[in-house]
Amino acid sequence: MTLIDTHCHLNFDSYAHDREAVLARAVQAGVTRIIIPAIDLVTGQQIADLCRQHSCLFGAVGIHPNSAADFQESDLEQVRALAQQPSIVAIGEIGLDYYWDKCPPATQRRAFEAQLSLAAQLRLPVIIHNREAGDDVIAILETWVNGLPDELRQRPGVLHSFSASSAVAERALAAGFFLGFTGPITFKNADETRRIAAETPLERLLVETDGPFLAPVPFRGQRNEPSYIPYIIDRLAQLHGITPDEIGQITTANAVRLFQLTEPNEQPLDCSSDLE
């Protein structure tokens, strides 16, 4: 079984001292491809550089709502330039965050809508961050999807680390989005998230770590990493009443379809640095 971690911040400093070992453990656990989302222009460049070194890595570029306080239209051209690289498969992570008071909501929305427009121009799906802003996020996305070309409307993006209401989930699925599930579906107090995951059609499920955050049980509170994806796979298998292998195959196929991923260049699959 080969798995895909569709959201891990492998460029963060918390992986700096052992990134190669993290990648080796990922491959050992069956995780052969990883998508790294940006939070700003600097991390977008870091991700592009990292993806050039490891052909099992893919990236997304964009400006996170908590990084959008100084957003200018000229930033879009830098995002556009980064997105031209072949390893970049999405615009993200972008969205709205009303939990942290790091950027005025109006500025967040301006940056969000501008980047959605860019994604449509580039024919790239989006990776959506939503924290306590579900109603506004889904309303903006519904409007955006209506104007997409047919090809992209079939794979507009993912609401990552889904934690919103069932109503938001239903609207997102109706608009064609995928839902990404992370470590919290293994937490004792996450019954509502598990219920939504159980009701999500299999063809719209994605698995992700959101590393270094949100490690699943039994690693809760520790640094998260891609090798923990099987714990999320196992929980989803229980919720859907099928085997982990089946969930693994389904979520891998979903990720390939959404992000139009290619196989890594190495045979057999290998996450060691291409520059070594």
Q: Can you give the pLDDT at residue 241?
A: 98
Q: Can you give the pLDDT at residue 262?
A: 76
Structural domains in the chain?
A: 3-259 (3.20.20.140)
Cβ-based neighbours of 240, under 8 Å, separated by 6 or more: 198, 202, 247
Q: Can you give the pLDDT at residue 271?
A: 65
Q: Can you give the pLDDT at residue 276?
A: 39
Q: Can you give the pLDDT at residue 264?
A: 58
Sign of torsion, CA 172 177 178 183? negative
User: What does the pLDDT profile of the chain (276 residues) look like in tens digits?
Assistant: 799 999 999 999 999 999 999 999 999 999 999 999 999 999 999 999 999 999 899 999 999 999 999 999 899 999 999 999 999 999 999 999 999 989 999 999 999 999 999 999 999 999 999 999 999 999 999 999 999 999 999 999 999 999 999 999 999 999 999 999 999 999 999 999 999 999 999 999 999 999 999 999 999 999 999 999 999 999 999 999 999 999 999 999 999 999 999 765 443 345 655 433
Q: CA-to-CA distance for 93 and 184, rounded, in angstroms?
A: 19
Q: Can you give the pLDDT at residue 270?
A: 55
- Hunting for tokens 């934690």 — which residue is that? 163
Q: Which two tokens stand for residue 253?
A: 């196929």
Q: Can you give the pLDDT at residue 263?
A: 67
Q: CA-to-CA distance for 64 and 98, rounded, in angstroms?
A: 12
At residue 62, the 3 state secondary structure works out as coil
Instruction: List, as one string, the DSSP characters of 21-60.
Output: HHHHHHHHTTEEEEEEE-SSHHHHHHHHHHHHH-TTEEEE
